[in-house]
Structure 1
Amino acid sequence: MAGPLSGVRIVEMGGIGPGPFAAMMLADSGADILRIERPGANPNESSSMMRNRRRVTVDVKSPDGLEAIKRLVAEADGLIEGFRPGAMERLGLGPDVLLQLNPKLVYGRMTGWGQTGPYASAAGHDINYIAISGALHAVGRRGAAPVAPPALIGDFGGGGMMLAFSMCAALLNAAKTGKGEVIDCAMSDGSGVLMTAFHEGLARGSWIDERGANVVDSGAHYYDAYETADGAFVSIGAIEPQFYATLRKLTGLDADPAFEAQNDRGQWPALKDKVAALFKTKTRAEWCDLLEYTDACFAPVLSLTEAPEHPHAKARGSFVTVDGVAQPAPAPRYAHAQLDTPRACEQVALQDAHWRR
């Protein structure tokens, strides 16, 4: 694989959600990743997130399987696992064992609650992890119940991306010092880190600890999604005064002096009603003709089917098709390092499971 992580070798213990996502990010950037699958695992499970790597079926409870994994780990740079605390230890593959075998190993552990704490052994999912971190409280309309978002905040943002980042940081340190690391990556912790700016705002008095009452959480009339005449939706995010002025000018809202009170929170509900009524006067396509590619901070709200077809996505090659499945292309881009075109996960036999040279 081409990319800035070319030459980095990582064992991925098969799992779902944030672990495979972290491995996908590392593999997209060139890491050589071998995914260990349990016998009977569904080969199509999370196939998009399993791109750019090889997988091998191993019975980790058998002596031969255990030795095969240890052989791979002995020459690896890292390992990713997403089991409950204690599961890898019971298999004989805990960090104490594997770091004795390979002192430079970066051992990445992905869980919902972390390796320690009162919740550590409890089951959970994204909604639970972001609930306890304070993130879920902030998602939703004013005066309404919290809204469960797609598993972006806990699983993929606070979990998978956090693990990929920490793996890279620890790999850099291991290369410098020769000392490996054990990473305790918890989605409850990571989703809390994603809320750092809002904790700062709360401390300074610029953020209200209430859903839908702030600028960037649908409280403001100039930062929200609005329905159009054809039942579609558009988004506006004209926070800065110059962008707000552009939005008003292009939509005709500059004729209404009420909109001069941009940041008067008391006026937001009434102004929002006016903006909602305005956007229902045209179709999404008509609003795009008027506002796209301007400084009004506007974009149509696209479905998963529509997003790959947008001109901006096509111009940047933001989506690719791998093994017949349309999916986002690797990101971010590098100025010098060239990334390979994503490929489907390759099944290999245990006797062929070795590191590329």
Structure 2
Amino acid sequence: MQSSDGSAGPLVGLRVLELAGLGPAPHAAMVLADLGADVVRVERPFGRALRFGPEDATDIVRRGRRSVFADLKESEGRALVRALAARADVLIEGLRPGVAERLGVGPEDCGRDNPGLVYARVTGWGQDGPLAQDPGHDLNYIGLTGLLHAMGGRAGGPPPPPLNLVGDFGGGSMLLVIGVLAALWERSRSGSGQVVDSAMVDGTALLGQMTYALRGMGEWSDERSANLLDGAAPFYDTYECGDGKYVAVAALEPQFFAALLEGLGIAGAHLSAQGDRGGWPALRARFARRFASRTRDEWAAHFAGTDACVTPVLTFTEAGAHPHVVARSTLIEVDGILQAAPAPRFSRTPNRRPSAPGAPGADTESVLRDWGVGSPAATSAVRARPRAR
């Protein structure tokens, strides 16, 4: 399915207004744009926005959408945002609670002329609660849920900072996208929009539900490196190979464990049962010696096509060249920059190939025309040149 402008994806025809920010809000807007939505990003013409390159040209999280400038500290800029919001299905913002209201672009301001607007807000701590006004980042949010402690590496040391996937983009962006789609589904029946409050601390806790379930069943300890999935089990861990590179081993089920032993050439040896925790240290030592006897790629080739669940641990550069990643186009190049392809995939309405991010504010005329925003105040605001930074 394609729209009149040639775009594709299941969300063709959906209009999304994004107030420029960092982290999960632009990531959620990118996902919606990947799926076919017409996303317009409202850029701040000046300020302390984080820049990644000339005109943000290399910030690929900005891909796939158009942008305009609006100074929300000026009445013309606020008028522009409200005019665009009046024509949008969804507005996404990641400001600290209360800031959008003080700027005059909060849910009540924008919903006055558009009662069907889904106003999607993503913050670290949520719109209320004792920490709502406190600053923070991914590490803070996941630390408060217990998950940072649980996935914090080996016992006996401080939890190392993981990549900001769980809080920012899992608990924040992905839960925001789910909330937007759920609110749109509800609007299709009620005709009314609503506010979606996506807090990274809430989303992180939800992502950890399986771990909380195991803990509730008495099968997960607060002690690190003492549980099935946190590195305690020798058959669910990473091992260094003879060339200093690593393999990932995830042979949890008995049949996969048997295939692992067979592949390592120790199936007939005297070994403890898989579930015998007392025998895990000796089993780990034996695995480590075997994996150290060959290079990572030799082991990857050796286990290819087996059920042992042994795969190479790749760098970003290596991942882009892996045959499976290449075959599925999981990673693609756009203007020479390696990046994730849109996901998930659809049988009837395939996603469009994403376009590279353009210069901030470069789409003034097309947005005004396509969204039907033509009032003098809005037009002058969107055409204004950005202030010098």
Q: Structures share a fold, TM > 0.5? A: yes
Deviates further, 309-318 or 171-180? 171-180
One-letter amino acid matched to 1:22 = A
| 1:154 and 1:191 in contact (8 A); partners too | yes
- Between stretches 301-310 and 200-209, larger displacement belongs to 200-209
Superposition pairs for residues 293-332 of structure 1, below 5 Å?
Answer: 293-332=305-344
2:188 alignment partner AA: A
Q: What's 1:127 paired with?
A: 139
Aligned to 1:165: 178
- How far residue 351 of structure 1 moved from its aligned partner, in angstroms, is 4.3
Structure 1: how far apart are the matches of 2:364 and 2:79?
A: 11
Equivalents in 1 of 2:81, 2:338: separation in Å? 33
- Partner of residue 23, structure 1: 29
Does structure 1 residue 8 correspond to structure 2 residue 14?
yes
Look up the match of 2:267. 254
* C-alpha displacement of 1:133: 1.0
Instruction: Report 1:53-132 matches (<5 A).
Output: 53-132=65-144
Q: CA 1:50–1:355 in structure 2 vs 1: closer, same or farther (change >3 Å)? A: farther
Which residue in 1 is equivalent to 2:285? Answer: 273
1:232 match: 245
From 39, 42, 45, the counterpart of 2:45:
39
2:132 partner letter: A
2:57–2:358 CA contact under 8 A, matched in 1: no
Indicate the SS of the match to 2:333: strand
| 1:111–1:186 CA contact under 8 A, matched in 2 | yes
The Cα shift of 1:307 comes to: 0.4
Decide which of 185, 191, 194 is 2:207's aligned counterpart: 194
Give the secondary structure class of the aligned counterpart of 2:345: coil
Tell me, yes or no, if the aligned pair for 1:17 and 1:155 is still in contact at 8 Å: yes
1:350 and 2:356 correspond: no
The amino acid of 2:292's aligned partner reads K
One-letter identity of the residue aligned with 1:182:
V
Report the Cα distance in structure 2 between the residues aligned to 1:274 and 1:197, rounded to whole angstroms.
30
Counterpart of 2:123, as a letter, is: T
**Native 8 Å contact 1:55 1:345 kept in 2:** no
**Contact 2:56–2:357 under 8 Å retained in 1:** no
Decide whether aligned partners of structure 1 residues 104 and 278 sit closer, same or farther in structure 2, where only a CA change above 3 A counts.
same
- Segments of 5+ residues of structure 2 without an aligned counterpart are 1-6, 372-389
Q: Do 2:42 and 2:67's aligned partners in 1 also have CA atoms closer than 8 Å?
A: yes
Q: Say whether the 8 Å CA contact 1:39–1:57 is kept in structure 2.
A: yes
TM-score, length of structure 2 as denominator length? 0.88
Q: CA RMSD in A?
A: 1.5
Provide the residue aligned with 1:146 in structure 2: 159
Deviation at 1:355, TM superposition (A): 7.0
Amino acid at match of 1:48: I
**Cα distance in 1, alignment partners of residues 339 and 159 from structure 2:** 29
Structure 1: how far apart are the matches of 2:125 and 2:58?
22
1:203 counterpart (216, 231, 239): 216
- The amino acid of 1:234's aligned partner reads V
Q: Percent identity?
A: 46
Deviations 1:102-134 (A, max 9, x none): 100001111001111111111111000000011
**Rounded Cα–Cα distance in structure 1 between residues aligned with 2:123 and 2:326:** 36
Who is 2:255 aligned against?
242
Asked if the contact 2:67/2:364 (under 8 Å) is kept, the reply is no
Q: Secondary structure at the match of 1:257?
A: coil
Give me the whole-angstrom Cα distance separating, in 2, the residues matched to 1:314 and 1:68.
43
Aligned residues: 356
Q: Give the Cα separation in 1 of the matches to 2:296 and 2:199.
A: 40
Q: Aligned AA for 2:205?
A: G
Please tell me the residue identity of whatever aligns with 2:297: A
Secondary structure of 1:3's match? coil
Among 228, 234, 238, the residue aligned to 1:215? 228
Q: CA deviation at 1:266?
A: 2.1
Distance in structure 2 (CA, Å) of the matches to 1:352 and 1:227: 54
Counterparts of 1:322 and 1:355, CA distance in 2? 27
The DSSP-based 3-state class of the residue aligned with 1:79 is strand
- 8 Å Cα contact 1:142-1:219 kept in structure 2: no
**Equivalent residue for 2:61, pick from 41, 45, 49:** 49
2:57–2:357 contact (8 Å) kept in structure 1: no
| CA displacement, residues 230-287 of structure 1 (integer Å, 9 cap, x when unaligned) | 00000010000011111111111213222x4111122222211221121111001110
* Cα distance in structure 1, aligned partners of 2:111 and 2:124: 24
Separation in 2, partners of 1:354, 1:174: 26
The 3 A distance-change label for structure 1 pair 46 and 22 is farther
8 Å contact from structure 1 (residues 9, 355) kept in 2: no
CA contact (8 A) 2:240 2:288 kept: yes
